[in-house]
Amino acid sequence: MSLTIRERCQAVTDCLFEQGVKGIAKIAAATGLSKSSVHRHQQAIARRNQYPESLWWESQTGSQWLRVMVLGVVYYFGVKHGVGAESLSEFFTAIHIDAHVGVSASSLRLLKRKMRDAIIAYEVAQQEHCQPKDGQGICVGGDETFFGLPILVMLELASGFIFTEVERPNRTYATWQAQIQQWWTRCGWHCHFMVSDGAPALIKLAVSGLGCVSVSDLFHALSALAQPIGSDMGRQMSQLNKKATVLQQQLLNVRSEAKQQQLQQSKAEISAQQQSLEQDKMAYHQVLHRLTQVIHPFNIKTLEWQLFDDLSAGLNAPLAQMSTLAKTYGAQKGSKAIDSFQQQIPSMAQGIHAWWQWVTQALKVATDDLDLQNWVLMYLLPWAYWQQQTDKTRHPLLKADYRKATEQAYARLLKHPMTQQMNSQESQEWVDWAQWMSTKYQRTSSAVEGRNGYLSRLHHAARGFSEESLKVLTIIHNFDLKRADGTTAAQRLFGHPFPDVFESVVNSMGELPVARQSSMKKRPNPLTQAIFPA
């Protein structure tokens, strides 16, 4: 079997390391190489051994580790995070491996291109394992992000799996529809609802394209509601602070007692206005806090089901408070924002209704025992849902409220006779089902917004996307990025693990580029020779 140049070099090195043989003739006999080849390889090794650690890279273990390290840096930093080939080359040169591996910028660009091809080949190999179960339910979110031309992003909200991520000249319904056909028509998905910012094309896509309910994104709705009132509050507070600063400076410079009294009175009035504004600001944040608490499938206090009438009743009080604030702050824009939010309440309620329908259908498939169904719906599911909300939120006040609801639901669950009678294995199966079902309720498309932010950073680092590079980033998101539980988006959606992307890429990449000594280092400078002749 013929040996590659690198394998022959390795054979020479193994002889030097393991046998301690120094004679050229003996090494040639041991390796089957000619004496001239052995001598040439020995000279090459001597040139590479410039640092104390260099000799280890010549060993079998060291060379294998070196290969994985170089490919890992290119994959995790060059491909995943958009670090340029020039920066990678500087790094490899700084850690003294440029004599052992070809790490010039041009070599690394070729290596990155080859790695992208390997990642695309990985996805092609996994296509047969990415088939949904018949009628598998999903909830999706869609939005666009702009870096010149719009990038259309649609992903499954519960798992985070990206179905569509492409750059297109426009964001019309026809363009969206053409993109989803690639995965929607040939698979057996059943979409229960789609969350979006309410763009007409996306609403039509949900209703006509996917045949599901269109749900208004709570994140966008709350942001639009809060912006005019909150920005006016901030502007007025800034003006009051400036006035207070000016009055304080005037008090320090004024000698007249009458003038000082006048300034003190003005300062007291400003202070009173600041206190009043702070109270209104606190009320404003409490309203937003309450709105966030209300829009859930369960009532946070009673833990009962919450449908359209319950949702509307729960939102009446905080929206009335917001209307009172809008009379002082935000003016006409504030009132319009409140009206716009109220118009989206039916759409948000539709999302809750669609989820409840999904829950009941899935539960009937799982069991036909009515008592068991009642226990799951009324006792187990509220606890699983509020526990999940507690884990998800980072806001300390919301987390405290959700934790309180979780504890209340858990206490109710423990008191139920069926909880006490059920064996541990069966109860764990139902807990897993309830936790899985809880992930299916999604009221925002924040996962899409997060993806847009990720793309924005990479777009800036890489100075744009090619069609290939964007496809590679999508594959990495679906099959490589992991949540805290160690699962990938593909694993969460399809219910089984997939081969590690990096390991698959390493196994298919072959040998690293060979280091070459630049001819410019050998060639004498004519100008130097003219000035300093030998």
Q: Each residue of 191-212: pLDDT tens digit?
A: 999 999 999 999 999 999 999 9
Instruction: Quote the pLDDT of residue 490.
Output: 96
Instruction: Quote the pLDDT of residue 15.
Output: 57
Q: Each residue of 89-142: pLDDT tens digit?
A: 999 999 888 888 889 999 999 999 999 999 999 999 999 899 888 878 999 999
CA distance 155 to 519: 51
Instruction: Quote the pLDDT of residue 519.
Output: 44
The residues with which 164 forms a beta bridge, in sequence order, are 154
Instruction: Quote the pLDDT of residue 374.
Output: 95
Instruction: Quote the pLDDT of residue 37.
Output: 75
> Could you count the other beta carbons within 10 Å of the beta carbon of residue 254?
13
Enter the DSSP assignment of 378. I
Instruction: Give yes or no for a contact between 375 and 418, defined as CB atoms under 8 angstroms apart.
Output: yes
Residue 210 half-sphere exposure toward CB, CA atoms < 13 A: 30
Q: Given the structure tokens 């979409």, which residue do they identify?
A: 191
Instruction: Give yes or no for a contact between 452 and 143, defined as CB atoms under 8 angstroms apart.
Output: yes
345 to 11, 178, 308, 315, 530: CA distances (angstroms):
73, 30, 8, 9, 85
Retrieve residue 254's tokens: 């004024």
Residue 326 half-sphere exposure toward CB, CA atoms < 13 A: 19
Q: Given the structure tokens 């196994």, which residue do they identify?
A: 507
**Spans in the chain with pLDDT lower than 50:** 1-3, 5, 17-21, 518-523, 527-529, 531-532
What type of residue sits at position 3? L
Q: At how many degrees (to 10) do helices 35-48 and 24-31 cross? A: 110
Three-class SS state of 521 = helix
The contacts of residue 173 (CB under 8 Å, 6+ apart) are 200, 201, 204, 205, 208, 209
Strands lying side by side in the sheet with 213-216: 162-167, 149-156, 136-147, 189-196, 213-216
Contacts 24+ apart (CB under 8 A), 40-43: 41/8, 41/9, 41/12, 42/12
**Cα R_g (the chain), whole angstroms:** 33
> Could you count the other beta carbons within 10 Å of the beta carbon of residue 240?
16
SS (H, E, C) 361-374: HHHHHHCCCHHHHH
Instruction: Quote the pLDDT of residue 449.
Output: 84
Task: Estimate to the nearest angstrom the gap between the alpha carbon of 319 and the chain centroid.
Answer: 32
Instruction: Give yes or no for a contact between 315 and 323, defined as CB atoms under 8 angstroms apart.
Output: no
C-alpha angle 238-240-246 in degrees, rounded to nearest 5: 105
Three-class SS state of 532 = coil
Report strand pairing: 136-147 vs 149-156: antiparallel
